[in-house]
Amino acid sequence: MLLRNFKKSNMINAFYLARALKTFRPHHQFLCRGYSTHIATGNTACEDHEPSFLKSVEMYFDKAAGISGVSQKTLSHMKAPDCMLKVTFPIEIKDKVEIITGFRVHHSRHMLPVKGGIRFATDVDEQEVTALAALMTYKCAIVDVPFGGAKGGISIDPKNYTDAEVERITRRYTVELCQKSFIGPGTDVPAPDVGTGAREMAWIMDTYRQFHPNEVDSIGCVTGKPIPLGGVRGRNESTGLGVYYGIREFVSYPEVQKHTGLSGDIKDLRIIIQGFGKVGYWAAKFFEQNGAKIIGIGEKECGVYNPNGLNIDKLFNYRRSRGSFLGMPNVDIIEDPLEILELECDVLIPAALERQIGLRNADKIKAKIVGEAANGPTTPLANEVLLMKGILVIPDLLLNAGGVTVSYFEWLKNLSHMRFGRMTKKWDELGKSQIVELVERNVARKLSETEKKQVVHGANETDLVFSGLEDTMISACSETRRTAISKDIDYRTAAFVNAIEKVAAVYEGSGIMFMN
């Protein structure tokens, strides 16, 4: 069935690709709510005429929109970003005043709060933040997280500043968000993204609380916080673990095994990952723990490769102590950072940045599956090339949704003011002990202490978070698969169709449209 899908969609793709190649010339301009989106250049994976990240997300949306049963009125409302904040503020750095630029975009407020990470990187601009915010709208819908989509960022390279300076920039940005009502547990809840982590989330929360000292739920204004400050266990690992669950799920489908020749056993997978940050590291860890062979890791300075498998913690410690993979023993060093994407493997996981697979390298990709852990790693034209080559693409808006899923759990924990499992763990253990005693009496055999511990163990916060995440990823993958099969379309289009239909149901059901 799926093989038939690929053949049919390849013909459509060939047409789409030819048309797209013709249509997208360097002078092409895209207008969105009054501002133009530049065609991003200077990226060696992409041709200059390939669409920007924002335009790419819109092209994916348009392709799925035509297949969904949603009305044009609702689609045009859904596609346009709702509102955008651009702030500039001065920061005194080493006796000089520097003007810092930050953004926060609410793509869709059909559900509140809106949710999405905050990125610190030099490339942060209006179109990138808007593209990421749009992906958040669809991502939340795919995993049934009841939030709208948002994203924020500051255009700085945090490595150019001391920790104290990054703290001042983060707090000043948060003041702007507070003053303009772009943050709050019921309105907008940021989270970490590229260049930010638990530390920045703690500063954001602390600044927000200074403005809202009497707000009982104030710690729910941001997720991805350190555990002692209201974070949830498992958030750090969540996006990488979700990537693992998602790929495990897809390789278990018989049609995927038939198409790729993979056995479905994680232990048989050879994996390459681009980006060894929060998402890439944890994805690598979970695949390694479950027996897969990680044969390549790419970073911005170079890549490392060993066909016999890499040791993830050794790599992590080496890079942390030296700041680079260069000089690492017992591995091949791949000097061109993009080359790692082109090596032979079963699953390629881009987990760094957008636009890493473009028209210049798509044809050289040799993986059987591309699992998009990063947001927007594949341009639409490159996506068509991959599909034509028979490569399965598990799309970003589905595969990296583990992060927002566990952020949702953290937000719920903050609103309930209680650790998950606190009221139930002992009660569960008591009930299970009574069952074990009953079974022991009836079969006249005593369980060993280890066996008993395993059976009786009541779920703690990590157990509950991981099982909630696993269940969410399995359901979202199987919904995507169902739509792909029933509509004879690829997984990305299927994920977008599902998201569009779910968001449309809220728009239309709530009368949000004010239309006849």
Member of 192, 220, 358, 395 binding ligand NAD (CB under 6 A): 192
Member of 102, 148, 149, 195 binding ligand NAD (CB under 6 A): 195
Residue number with CB closer to ligand NAD (192 or 220): 192
The dihedral of CA 349, 352, 353, 357: what is its sign?
Answer: negative
Distance of CA 425 to the CA centre of its chain: 31
**Binding of residue 108 to ligand NAD (CB under 6 A):** no
- Neighbour tally for 190: CB within 10 Å: 31
| Tokens standing for residue 331 | 């591995």
- What is the DSSP code string of 103-150? EEEEEE-SSSSEEEEEEE-TT--HHHHHHHHHHHHHHHHHTT---EEE
**Binding of residue 56 to ligand NAD (CB under 6 A):** no
Q: Which residue has the tokens 């200077």?
A: 42
Count of residues touching ligand NAD (by CB under 6 A): 24
Instruction: Please write down the HEC assignment for all residues of 484-510.
Output: HHHHCCCHHHHHHHHHHHHHHHHHHHC
Per-residue CA distances from 98 to 159, 170, 178 (Å)? 16, 14, 21
Per-residue CA distances from 424 to 196, 419, 455 (Å)? 34, 10, 16
| Per-residue contact flags (x/-) with ligand NAD for residues 268 to 307, judged by CB under 6 A | ------xxxxxxx-----------------xxx-------
- The angle at the Cα of 491, spanning 490 to 495, to the nearest 5 degrees, equals 125
Site for ligand NAD in 300-319 (CB under 6 A): 300
Residue number with CB closer to ligand NAD (412 or 485): 412
Residue number with CB closer to ligand NAD (234 or 280): 280
Site for ligand NAD in 446-465 (CB under 6 A): none
Residue number with CB closer to ligand NAD (111 or 272): 272
Q: Is 115 known as a binding-site position? A: yes
Per-residue CA distances from 155 to 87, 113, 430 (Å)? 11, 24, 53
For the CB of residue 88, give the shortest distance to ligand NAD in the complex, in Å: 23
For the CB of residue 93, give the shortest distance to ligand NAD in the complex, in Å: 22
Residue number with CB closer to ligand NAD (262 or 351): 351
Member of 351, 359, 381, 465 binding ligand NAD (CB under 6 A): 351
Q: Is 23 known as a binding-site position? A: no
For the CB of residue 246, give the shortest distance to ligand NAD in the complex, in Å: 12
Residue number with CB closer to ligand NAD (260 or 274): 274
Residue number with CB closer to ligand NAD (220 or 337): 337
Whether the upstream peptide bond of residue 26 has omega within 30° of 0, thus cis, is no
278 and 232 Cβ atoms separated by less than 8 Å: no
Residue number with CB closer to ligand NAD (55 or 278): 278
**Binding of residue 374 to ligand NAD (CB under 6 A):** yes
Assign 3-state DSSP to the chain and report helix, strand, coil percentages, each to 5.
Answer: 50, 15, 35
Rounded Cα distance, 475 and 143, in Å: 8
Stretch that binds ligand NAD, among 367-375, 427-435, 440-448, 457-465 (CB under 6 A): 367-375
Closest to 81 (Cα-Cα) out of 63, 59, 64, 58: 58
**Binding of residue 348 to ligand NAD (CB under 6 A):** no
Residue nearest to ligand NAD as judged by C-beta position: 277
**Binding of residue 193 to ligand NAD (CB under 6 A):** yes
Rounded Cα distance, 168 and 153, in Å: 15
Site for ligand NAD in 401-420 (CB under 6 A): 403
Rounded Cα distance, 434 and 456, in Å: 9
| Per-residue contact flags (x/-) with ligand NAD for residues 234 to 253, judged by CB under 6 A | -----x--------------
Kind of pairing between the strands at 369-371 and 188-192: unpaired
| Tokens standing for residue 305 | 């490769």
For the CB of residue 42, give the shortest distance to ligand NAD in the complex, in Å: 12
Question: Which of the 8 DSSP states describes residue 426?
Answer: H
Q: Is 139 known as a binding-site position? A: yes
Member of 20, 156, 169, 194 binding ligand NAD (CB under 6 A): 194
For the CB of residue 499, give the shortest distance to ligand NAD in the complex, in Å: 15
**Binding of residue 337 to ligand NAD (CB under 6 A):** yes
Q: Select which of 63, 79, 151, 293 is catalytic.
A: 151
Q: Which residue has the tokens 């977008």?
A: 496
Mark whether 151 is an active-site residue.
Answer: yes
Q: What residues form the annotated binding site?
A: 115, 139, 239, 407
User: Which residues participate in the annotated binding site for NAD(+)?
Assistant: 239
Query: Which residues of this protein are in contact with ligand NAD, per CB under 6 A?
Result: 192-195, 239, 274-280, 298-300, 337, 351-353, 373-375, 400, 403
Q: Binding site for substrate: residue ranges?
A: 115, 139, 407
Residues identified as active-site: 151
